[in-house]
Structure formats: C-alpha cells, structure tokens
Amino acid sequence: MPDAGLMQFLNRRHPSYTEREPVYRFLRQSYEGGASWIDANLFRFSPRETQVDYQRRKEQAVYPNLVARTLDIYRDHVFKQGDALRRGIAYPAWKAFEQDVNRNGADANDFWGQVAIRTLLYGWMGVLIDAPRVPDLGRQMTMADVNAGLATPYFIAVSPLEVADWSTDAFGALHWVHLVQMEIRDAEPYTPRTEVTIHRSYDRTGWRVYN
C-alpha cells in the first residue's frame, strides 16, 4: 500500500498554484489559439440565443491570434540574430552543447527564445539544468574529460503548470520543488500508446521520481 505521507505529498498543490492554474491554462489556450480557444471561451450572447444559433456562430467564429504574434515580435527583436547567444569558445564540447542545449535539437537561441515567449506569457518560467550519468572511468574526472563532453549538461524548460508545489527559505531560495509532468509512452509501435503522470521532486541533496 502506498505510504500515506507520500500520497499526500503527490496530491498536494501549493496555494499559489491552485489560485493561478486556471489563469495559466487560459493564457496557454490564448497563445495556442485554434478551435479549442473558441470552444472554451465563446459564450452565448443571451439566454434567448438558441443552441442552433450558438453552434452556427461558433462554426463561423475566427480567433485572430494576436497574443502569439505579439509575443513572437518581442522574441524576434532579442533573438533575431542567429548567433546572438554564441560565444567564441573553441572547445568541441561547448560547440556541440550550444547547438543542442536540451538534447532535443534546439540550439541556444531557439531554446531561450521559447523560454522568453513563455516568460512573457505566464510571467515566469522555470529552467531545470541536468546532466547525463557520468560513465565509470575508474579514476577522477579531469577537465579534459569535461571538455570532451563526458559531463555536458542540458536544459529542460519547465512551465508554471508543471510546478505543482514548493517551499522556500527566508531569502526565497528553494528548499524543494515538486514537478508534475505528463509523459507519452509509445516507443514500441505495436503496443498501445499510454499517457503517464510523472512526479519529480528535487531538494538540496537529491531528486526522486514517482509514477
């Protein structure tokens, strides 16, 4: 049977998260646009409007996505130069890192441009810095190993909708943070696709994953 304290932790949400979650979801819908925004936000004019008239108006409605256009303009002014965030560092590991900072093919400008857009949209964004497991070298790692890319970190953009709970000290530094993320598992083409909720907790000494 699951531990009661653990289940309480996984199900608990920070009061600020509970208060702002509907707003974050509305903002995300407004940026993404499309039929989902119309379905969620196009209301009836009055009780006298029939269901047929309302449905017809929904089918004819258009959402001019000025939110995305406006945020893209701000992003483009900062990140319009393709090499704006690149530095003249000759290490091959650094060059490989700046061309793929999230292990998903995004270079530094693309990644931070997307973070900038969502920061403007939500008011803030999280960025998690992680690194792959270091192979057992049988000796202490050296700077040569680091420059060769054995411990190259990578960035993970974290939406406010994923930061479910947290605690900070008197100076605002995190004691711990609890992330809730959805993961699609479909690596095998002949097995059913499943959606799994992943809980990740990070504190000052380590991290844990629950699913």
Whether 134 has a pLDDT exceeding 50, the answer reads: yes
The DSSP letter of residue 63 is -
Whether 83 has a pLDDT exceeding 60, the answer reads: no
- Give 209's strand partners: 200
d(CA 167, CA 173): 8
Gyration radius (Cα) of the chain, Å? 22
Between 90 and 139, residue with greater pLDDT? 139
What is residue 87's predicted lDDT score, i.e. its pLDDT?
Answer: 57
3-state secondary structure at position 45: coil
Whether 81 has a pLDDT exceeding 80, the answer reads: no
Between 147 and 14, residue with greater pLDDT? 14
Categorize the per-residue pLDDT at 88 as very low, low, confident or very high, splitting at 50, 70 and 90: low
Q: How far is CA 7 from CA 14, 16, 179, 199, 205, in A?
A: 15, 20, 14, 11, 21
C-beta separation of 68 from 118 below 8 A? no
The amino acid occupying position 165 is D
* Matching residue, tokens 């002949």: 190
Among the listed residues 109, 111, 210, 195, the one whose alpha carbon sits nearest the alpha carbon of residue 155: 111
Mean pLDDT in residue range 153-178: 96
Whether 118 has a pLDDT exceeding 70, the answer reads: yes
pLDDT above 70 covers what percent of the chain?
A: 94
In this predicted model, what pLDDT tens digit does every residue of 179-203 receive, in sequence order?
Answer: 999 999 898 989 899 999 999 999 9
pTM of the entire predicted model: 0.82
Categorize the per-residue pLDDT at 1 as very low, low, confident or very high, splitting at 50, 70 and 90: very low
pLDDT above 90 covers what percent of the chain?
A: 53
Q: How far is CA 182 from CA 2, 162, 185, 195, 200, in A?
A: 21, 9, 10, 7, 11
Mean pLDDT in residue range 117-128: 96
What is residue 211's predicted lDDT score, i.e. its pLDDT?
Answer: 81
State the average pLDDT for the chain.
88
Mean pLDDT in residue range 124-138: 88
The amino acid occupying position 186 is D
Mean pLDDT in residue range 17-39: 92
Whether 115 has a pLDDT exceeding 90, the answer reads: yes
